[in-house]
Amino acid sequence: MTGFGRGSAATAVWQATVEISAVNRKQAEVVLQAPRELNELDARIRQAVLATVSRGRIQVAVHLERAHTALADFRIDPALAQAFSAAFTALSEAIGHPVVPAAADYLRQPGLITMGSGEIDAEVAWHAIEPALTDALAQLAAMRSSEGEHLKTDFIARLDTLVSFSRKIAAEAPGRPVRQRELLAKRLRDAGLELDPADERVAKEIALFADRCDVSEEITRLDSHFAKFREYLDAAEPPGRALDFLCQELFREFNTIGSKANDASIAQTIVEAKTELEKIREQVQNIE
């Protein structure tokens, strides 16, 4: 399922913005974009994302800026400062009179005073990233939930269509042995043979055919799968994988009915049912 979420949070040191986007994929994949200094937070971020999302390709982008209220962190290189001062002392001895460096001389020396604001302490930054990540995930979940409600409505409509196909098959299937008896009688007449209604061989043949084309068990299992499908749609837990499995079972039952019924009208209904079921399967593979 698709979705997008964006969250921001700030502490006295850092201001964090987290953006999360998700696209359809059968399995879960988390792609993280963040400063390399935050590599140690990778596992925490992934764990938080996978606690909310179980399917899809999820891209997480973490943007971090130093807060405007944060004090700049200036650092001094003591060794370089002492070496710089010692150089002036040596210069004074060399020329025979003292040369005293001014403050500007020290400030112009590269590396003597540096500002450490570019360095990121991951643990300190996490205090801003965590609430931003939580907000982004909440927005993502809300957007995906809205999409899920629309899909649920579509699933129910298509499931009702499948139920109507099952009812149609259940109504037509019992008449199949009667049609087979009529077909057998016609073939015998065309061959110049009259059918004796009292002939036990004919009755046995029709009984065997009726047993072979009986689809009552498949219809019962279809009803069970339909009920379970609706139950999963209303469940609090993500139903994606369970619905995917049920789609496979529904397809199997319809396929078995088509093989056993040996009837053109039922076969046409089976084709229509499989077409409708395939539309459900395409969507089911993407939902949570």
pLDDT greater at residue 28 or residue 213 = 28
pLDDT of amino acid 45: 93
Contact (CB, 8 A) for 18 and 6: yes
Q: Please give the Cα distance from 130 to 128 (Å, whole number).
A: 6
Average pLDDT over residues 251-258: 88
Query: How far, in Å, are 43, 145, 193, 202, 258 from residue 183 at the CA level?
Result: 69, 55, 13, 12, 19
Q: Please give the Cα distance from 13 to 71 (Å, whole number).
A: 8
Which of the four pLDDT bands, split at 50, 70 and 90, describes residue 130?
very high
What is the architecture, at CATH level 2, of domain 3-70+120-142? 2-Layer Sandwich (3.30)
pTM: 0.59
Q: Please give the Cα distance from 210 to 272 (Å, whole number).
A: 24
